Amino acid sequence: MKKYFLFVSILFLLANSPDNNNSQEKQDIISPSKLVANDFMVVSAHPLATQAGYNILAKGGNAIDAAIAVQMVLNVVEPYASGIGGGGFLLYYDAKKNKSTYYNGREKAPKNINPKVFLDKKGQKKTFHEALKGGVSVGVPGILKILSSAHQKHGKLPWFELFYDAINTASLGYKVTPRIYKKINNIAHIAEFPETSGLFFNEQLHPKEISETIINNDLANTFRNIAVNGIDDFYHGNLAKKIVTAVKDSPINPGYLELTDLAEYNITTGDLICMAYRKYNICSMPMPSGGVTLLQILGILENFDLAQMDPDSVEAIHVISEAIRLAFADRNKYSADPDFVEVPVKSLLDKEYLKERSFLINVDAALIKVTPGEFSDLSIDKKLVASKPIEEPPSTTHISIIDKEGNAVSFTSSIEYSFGSGITVDGFLLNNQLTDFSFIDTENGQLVANSVAGQKRPRSSMSPTFVFDQTGKLELIVGSPGGARIISYVLKTIIAVLDWQVPVNDAIELPNFNKMFDQLEIENKSYLVDYKDLLERIGHQVTIRDLTSGIHAIHITEDGIMAGVDNRIEGNALGN
C-alpha cells in the first residue's frame, strides 16, 4: 500500500509539474480580496498563498490542509518572513468536537550551546546584528513537525497534494513586489551569503528590481522530496546533514547544531490558555508565546468601560497603552519556556491581581515608573530578575482560515528577522530565533528567565488567538506579525471588534500604537500623530514611527464570514 501511495504521489507531482503546465502568467495573477463569504475563508500575507489555500478548500480540503498549502507558498513568495527553516504556533479548532488544540513548533536551542554565546570576549552583550548572522543564531526548526503532526491527526486531503502550488510557484517564478524589493534592499546581511544573495540579486549583483522574476528551483525540489517522502529527510536524512553542515561550517558565526538536535526535536500539543473577557472567552497560545501577556492586558482593561470611550480618543489610547506597559513589565520578568522556568501563569492571570494592576492606571496621567508584580507565595519571585530584550524585529507572518465545516486555524510562523540567519539550504532560509533569548543569563546575581540554555525554546511574542462568544461559538480568528508589537496589534483588533463593534476590516485599519516600555509609540502618517502634544501633556514620552502590522482576521457573524486584511502589507482574502 505504501508503494502504491508513493507511485500515485510521483505521478501527481509529475503531471502537475511546471514542465507540464505552460501557464507562467497564472502565477502572476493578483486576485482581489473577497471580504465576505458564506462557506469558507482564507486570509494570508500574499495573494498567491491565499489562492493556494482557496484552491485546497474549494476541492474539499479542510483548514489544516489549506494552512499547509498556504505556508508552503509563503515560504516561496515571502521568504524573508517564514518557512520550513523556522518555527511557529498553530491553533486548531475542531468544530465537530468543539475543541481547540495548540501545536507548538517553536525552535529549540542546540543542546550543546554555550549559555554565553551572545556575549563578546569582554563579557559584554553583542549587538543584535552581530548576533543574528550565520549559524550561531539558528534554532532547530519546527514548522514541518507541527504541520505533519496536525495533518496526520486532522488532515483530509493527501499530504502530497498540498505542495502543488508551492512547487509550481517556486519553479515558474514570482514577481518581485514593492514589499520584497524593500526587504532585499534594506537587509544588508543577505549579501554576505552567496546562496542567499544568488536568489535575490541579479547578474550584476544588484537586488532584483520590482517585477523581475525570482525562481527557486532548489526549493521546488525540496518540496517535491517532502511532498512524496514526508519530513523524515529533514530531521533524520541527507537534508538534515546539509542543515547541520551549513550551521556548523558557516563562515560567519558558526553554530552548535548537531544531527541529534534535529533527530530528537519534538513539538508539544495541548489545550489553549483561555480567559473570560466581558461576555467572551479569549483563547491563545500558552508559554512561551505572547498569549499570556495578551490575556493580562485584556484582564486589566476589563476594569474600564472601553465601550464608552471613543476609539479615536486620547483617553482610549492612554488607558490601553498603560495596560500594555503593566503587562509587559510582568512579561520581561516571568515569560520563558515553562519546561525550564516555573512561570506563575495562574497568578499572572488571576482576576484579582489584574484588578489591582488596573488600579495603578491614572486616567489623567501616565505612570512614571512600572515594576513587575510580586507573588510572595512563589519562590520564583526571589530568583528571577526582569530583563528588557535587546530587539524583537517586526518580521513573521500570520494565516487565518475557516473551512466549510467550521474548522479553523490561527497560525503564526516565523524565521525571526527578515531573511533569518542569512543561511540558505536547498532553497530555504534558516531562522535566527535564538536571538529571541536574553543575551545575558544573570543580572546582579539573579537568574534571567529567558536566558540561553540547551534544548530551551526562546520567548516569543507570536499570539495566534481564537475568540468565542458566550455560547461557546467561535467568533474571531486573529493574529499578526510584528515582533514584540504583535501583542498590541492583536489586542487592538480584539478590542475594536468586541468593545467598539467595529467591522473587522476597519478594526485592522485603525492606527497602531504600543507602549512596551517608557516610550509610547504611535503610527507614523496616522491621525494619532495629531495627538502627540496631548499625550505628552499627560506624561507620555511619545515616539512616532512605522508600526507595520500584518493583522489577518476572520469574524464569523450572522451576516456571513467577514475577512480582515491588513493593507500595510500585501495580503488578501478569498472565500466562497
Give the sign of the dihedral formed by CA 231, CA 234, CA 237, CA 238: positive
297-321 per-residue burial string, b: 16 or more CB within 10 A, e: under 16: bbbbbbbbebeebebeebebbbbbb
What is the grid cell recorded at 559? Answer: 451576516
Q: How many CB atoms lie within 10 A of CB 506?
A: 13
Instruction: Confirm if 222 and 170 have CB atoms less than 8 A apart.
Output: no
Q: How far apart are CA 226 and CA 382, in angstroms?
A: 48
Q: Is 396 a catalytic residue?
A: yes
Q: Among residues 222, 160, 153, 232, which one has the least CA distance to residue 409? A: 153
Q: How far apart are CA 398 and CA 394, in angstroms?
A: 12
Burial of 22 (C-beta count, 10 Å sphere; 0-12/13-18/19+): exposed
Q: How far apart are CA 33 and CA 51, in angstroms?
A: 10
Q: How far apart are CA 321 and CA 313, in angstroms?
A: 12
Q: How many CB atoms lie within 10 A of CB 4?
A: 8
Q: How far apart are CA 301 and CA 32, in angstroms?
A: 36
Among the options 50, 177, 293, 396, which is catalytic? 396
Task: Report CA-CA distances (Å) from 104 to 39, 150, 456.
Answer: 28, 11, 13
Instruction: Confirm if 413 and 422 have CB atoms less than 8 A apart.
Output: no
Catalytic (active-site) positions: 396
